[in-house]
Structure 1
Amino acid sequence: DCISGGRLIAGFPVGTPMDTTYAYGTNPSQLRDRYYEAHDLVLRAWTEKETFAFNGRYNQQRYVNIWPRPIQQPHPPIWIPGAGSVETWRWAAEMDYVFCYLSYYGYKMAQNVMKGFWEEMARLGKDRNPYRAGFAQVVGVAETRQQALDLYTGPAEYFYGRCLHVDVRFAGPPGYVTEATQRAGIESQIKIAAQGKTASGPATNASSAQKMQSLARDMKGIVDNGYVIVGSPDDVVEQLRELATTLNVGQLMLLMQFGNMSKDVTKYNTRLFAEKVMPKLKPLFAEWENRWWPQPMERRQRATLPAFTPATAAE
């Protein structure tokens, strides 16, 4: 936050069991309690002006007194990444944080999760401010749709064919998914069955490993299922507008580099999006206040860094 002049967004993910449980040996049933306690420690460190002692169940610190302190006060905006846990929705609402649905599978498969999120917000008496929610979407922009397909087919098929492998044994150890979330998933499946419908694509509460088994891996399937939004600037504007309004999300987190995409293509994709897509999306949700966006220092208040000059070998 200090280095950027107050432009930090702090993400607080619970984490996957692949690192927390299998690499670090943490009991999966304790992960959420540990997460809440660690969050409380970080938040107190950011906001308390005096040195304090922290005596939690999992963390004990005799003296806590961070320096430097965050530029943004009382603290940087906090976004909570998740994949559909009921507890995460409720906690994000209670703490007034942004819930960010992180999915590589596109907005078409995200509709049930986000529908559940907004139903839970209504039950808790929260408004439908779209900036309460974020969504991650893979995007590829080019001057024409055909050019976009030519540029991004290789990276997309590489990404969905080779980069998302998760062994089912490591995806969901007992205790990692809470009872409430399992119940919600079962009830959702029962409701779908009762209506005589078939869920398209992976179930929203399926593990990463299960999702991987049912992924489309060819470009046609990837595009048709909405995993990647590709096309001309106007095509991408139309699809992202549909995404934002359908899911009611104001915080779009776009993956402009994916798979084996080169640096030059990544820069081209990002620049074209910034110049020809982003300006047309800015008016979306203008009637709502975004209370979860960074509040940076004015540019004149920021430190001026000297130009970087690489040292020569002789020096």
Structure 2
Amino acid sequence: MPILPNTEFLVAHYMPYTELPPEESGRESLWVDIPNSLFDPKKGHDLYGRYFHEAVLAEKLGFDGICINEHHATASSMMPVPSLIAATIFAQTTKLKVCVMGTPPNMDSPNRLAETYAMLDVMSGGRLEVAIPLGTPMEYWVNPVAPATARKRHREAIDIILKAWSSREATSHDGEFYHYKYLNVWPRPYQDPHPPIFIVGSGSLETVDLAVEYGFGYASTFSPIPKQLAALDYFQKKTIESGRTVRPSMFPLTVMTYVAETDEQALAEFEPHAKYYFDFLLRPGEFANLPGYIGLDELRRRGGHVLPSSHGRFDWDDLQNFYRVAVGSAETVADKIEKWAEEVGSNRIIFEVHTGDMPHWKLAKNMTLLAEEVVPELKRRRDTNQPRAEAAE
């Protein structure tokens, strides 16, 4: 079945710091306690310039948006304050949406975060989207929030943000964790009543329940396909039971993607950077095992591990078998995207276009081939109602 009408195509860029000395490859973890003496500000400055150039390229190539994220004390991301990244991208583009995926509101002042996002929405003319995560376990080692209270704080913070955005007069909030004599967001969001919102999760049913309760979309992070599909089924079932309609944009399809002239060339160009990403940048060490971060039932469901085993271990066969990774020629990638879009029923496709220490020329090649060969082919199949090739089965 072809892709759905009005399908949007976005890219995701996580802006890592890729200039670590080779001898650091033996570190147990690239998170939390990595010394910032390893960060070279001049190299970081150059990387920021490159990454913003790549965001502008995404608009020039015709992509609908770019997704950015937030992480702390890690070389895997140079975006501890993604609102600054979003503001810079908005200033250099005119059409590109930016989805901030995003600041855990329980680690910030919720009203201040509501103000920040409202400013971005107004400044961009309504191009902001917001995805709200609980944050990885590693974030809680460097933020003053007890993990056992994280979910309660998370829910209350969301309530505050929504109240601040929707109220047209000054209001207040007196809760368990937050107290505001006045909530009065000024300016208020450009989009009425607020930008599109997604809850970010890795398959926890408790997180899916939160998305359903608020009527938000649910954005699945890098988790195995069966787990994503189980979360989607649960999300759809609970949304319908709540009396709401499941829209195709509510469950984005995220795919790690690399396109080259042939399947063999694509893998040869992509694999070393995937190895760097999974073996090195995503290595959390013992900081992933955070007591209280998830409930006991969910911990049992995950076999006693908070994060998937892919964090800190690269295995190409496992990666292909369990995750949405499309690496190959334009036809191969289009076949996989079409199959997965049908499987998920989504009209929102996010291409993860930069992996690990991928150089600029490869990212530019990847995005260009996606924009000029893969996306047009998907649209052609949609418009002619031509089914995908059997080879994609």
CA RMSD of aligned residues (A): 2.9
**Separation of aligned partners in 2, 1:151 and 1:9:** 32
Partner of 1:207: 306
Q: Are the equivalent residues in 2 in contact too, given 1:141–1:273 (CA < 8 A)?
A: yes
Partner of 2:298: 181
Query: Aligned pair 1:261/2:358, yes or no?
Result: yes
2:311 counterpart letter in structure 1: M
Deviation at 1:251, TM superposition (A): 2.9
2:182 counterpart letter in structure 1: Y
What are the superposed Cα offsets for residues 287-312 of structure 1, whole Å, 9 maximum, x if unpaired?
xxxxxxxxxxxxxxxxxxxxxxxxxx
Secondary structure of the corresponding residue to residue 57 of structure 1: coil
Compute the TM-score of the two structures, normalised by the length of structure 2: 0.59
Match of 1:278 among 364, 367, 375: 375
Partner of 1:137: 255
Secondary structure of the corresponding residue to residue 235 of structure 1: helix
Deviation at 1:222, TM superposition (A): 3.6
Q: Are the equivalent residues in 2 in contact too, given 1:167–1:209 (CA < 8 A)?
A: no
Q: Are the equivalent residues in 1 in contact too, given 2:341–2:347 (CA < 8 A)?
A: yes
Partner of 1:153: 271
- If you compute each CA radius of gyration, which structure gives the higher value, 1 or 2? 1
Secondary structure of the corresponding residue to residue 354 of structure 2: coil
Count of residues in correspondence between the two structures? 263
Q: Are the equivalent residues in 1 in contact too, given 2:208–2:231 (CA < 8 A)?
A: no
Secondary structure of the corresponding residue to residue 208 of structure 1: coil
**Separation of aligned partners in 1, 2:227 and 2:181:** 47
What are the superposed Cα offsets for residues 189-222 of structure 1, whole Å, 9 maximum, x if unpaired?
xxxxxxxxxxxxxx58842164436x4x254554
Secondary structure of the corresponding residue to residue 261 of structure 2: coil
Compute the TM-score of the two structures, normalised by the length of structure 1: 0.73
Query: Aligned pair 1:252/2:349, yes or no?
Result: yes
Larger helix proportion of the pair = 2
Partner of 1:237: 334
**Separation of aligned partners in 1, 2:211 and 2:226:** 23
Deviation at 1:140, TM superposition (A): 0.4
Q: Are the equivalent residues in 2 in contact too, given 1:51–1:63 (CA < 8 A)?
A: yes
Counterparts in 2 of 1:48 and 1:283: CA distance versus 1, 3 Å: farther
After TM superposition, list the pairs within 5 Å mapping 1:56-205 onto structure 2.
56-103=175-222, 107=225, 110-121=228-239, 124=242, 127=245, 129-168=247-286, 170-179=287-296, 181-182=298-299, 185=301
Partner of 2:6: none
Match of 1:44 among 163, 169, 174: 163
Match of 2:134 among 14, 21, 25: 14
Deviation at 1:94, TM superposition (A): 1.9
Counterparts in 2 of 1:206 and 1:243: CA distance versus 1, 3 Å: farther
What are the superposed Cα offsets for residues 39-86 of structure 1, whole Å, 9 maximum, x if unpaired?
111112212121222222212222322222211101100011101111
Secondary structure of the corresponding residue to residue 41 of structure 1: helix
**Separation of aligned partners in 1, 2:355 and 2:220:** 18
Counterparts in 2 of 1:205 and 1:258: CA distance versus 1, 3 Å: farther
Deviation at 1:120, TM superposition (A): 4.5
Gaps of 5+ in 1: 186-202, 287-315
**Separation of aligned partners in 2, 1:63 and 1:57:** 16
1:176 counterpart letter in structure 2: Y
Counterparts in 2 of 1:210 and 1:25: CA distance versus 1, 3 Å: farther
2:129 counterpart letter in structure 1: I
Percentage identity across paired residues of the two chains: 30
Secondary structure of the corresponding residue to residue 124 of structure 2: coil
**Separation of aligned partners in 2, 1:54 and 1:285:** 49
